[in-house]
Amino acid sequence: MKKKNFNLDFELSARQCADPLAFTNLLRDRLDPALCLCWSLGERDWFLGAAPSSLDARVFGYLAPLLRSPLPSHRLQTLLKAHPNLVGFVRRVQQRLFAEQYAGGRSR
């Protein structure tokens, strides 16, 4: 886009322009490894074996809020939803490890 002299952030204030940079860094630092872990997860239930590990907990901790929280932009959710095995992973953790909290869509 920049090569074509098209600036998606043209109408944003200087302060607002900081948000895309912050989100880009968040994606690069936190989500890129998880999205790469989508290949290592494959069709398995857990990343490192037959039972959940601390890696599963960490990935869930980053991904679940992105799927469940109302965000000002749907970009992150769209990016995550492009990886059905990660979406399934989050659902699986919720169903198996937090069944009581997530039963019937209730948070209690």
Does 4 fall in a domain?
no
Q: Binning pLDDT at 50, 70 and 90, where does residue 15 land?
A: confident
Number of domains in the chain: 1
Calpha distance 59→21 (Å, rounded): 22
Instruction: Report the candidate in 59, 36, 39, 34 with the shortest Cα–Cα distance to residue 92.
Output: 59
What confidence score (pLDDT) does residue 45 get?
92
Does 58 fall in a domain?
yes
State pTM to two decimals: 0.61
- Tell me the pLDDT tens digit for each residue of 34-93: 666 777 788 899 988 888 888 888 888 888 988 888 877 788 888 889 889 999 999 999
Cα 73–Cα 98–Cα 27 angle in degrees, nearest 5: 30
Structure tokens at 70: 């109302």
Does 80 fall in a domain?
yes
Structure tokens at 26: 């968040």
Does 52 fall in a domain?
yes
Does 84 fall in a domain?
yes
